[in-house]
Structure 1
């Protein structure tokens, strides 16, 4: 079994911020109002008494993808893939995340693509 990731980051395909907010509010019970600067939106939520800063960055890989970064290891998920699987179901879209926690020697373009309950390894090279 792989070790827990120090933070959680997923990439969400073509989903309105309102839908992501609704999922986060349902999952965590509350979500602080987004603070926006251009395509970068920051907020915070609370999980088991711990405040978790989050950042949503639009158009990170082409126009279709946005990054959602939970800046904590105190989340309901041990690894990015756990979060990606939950988000893919909740948001009914494709979610991608890095295969491993960025260790020396890892293939930097190897990602999980999660959609409709299936996780598949893909090589994702952004233009």
Structure 2
């Protein structure tokens, strides 16, 4: 199982489904309401993807997007973040590498993509 996880600042309702619809097939994600966890699914290369949005994942301004499946549309969290940033036009953050749940993030650094470009930053 592969997964991609990015954090989206000030996510607008419906924005994730509008972005993903051009990257996956059979998208079923109702993200018009972001008051709680939103779960959906899609297909990529004929295989099922699970899609989950966790609003207020890092403070009140960020929503975590988790995409899980045996095959995923991007090769890394950073590639996914780049695609999201181009379409969503809001700050996107992701871990710097092959981070696994329960492990510390390398030196507390995250990729931040925004109008200033791509930079590794401490989350705060």
Structure 1: segments with no counterpart, 5+ residues: none
Determine whether 1:115 maps to 2:114.
yes
Cα distance change on mapping 1:105 and 1:53 into 2, 3 Å:
closer
SS in 2 for 1:57: strand
Tell me the matched-pair count: 121
Closer, same or farther: CA 84–117 of 1 in aligned 2, 3 Å: farther
User: Is 1:55 matched up with 2:52?
Assistant: yes
Change (3 A) 1:108 1:70: farther
TM-score of the pair, normalised by structure 2:
0.84
Give the 3 Å change call, closer, same or farther, for CA 56–106 of structure 1 in structure 2: closer
3-state SS, counterpart of residue 15 of structure 1: coil
Query: TM-score by structure 1 length?
Result: 0.82
- Partner residue in 2 for 1:40: 37
The reply to whether residue 9 of structure 1 matches residue 24 of structure 2 is no
Moved over 4 A (4+): 35-38, 103-106
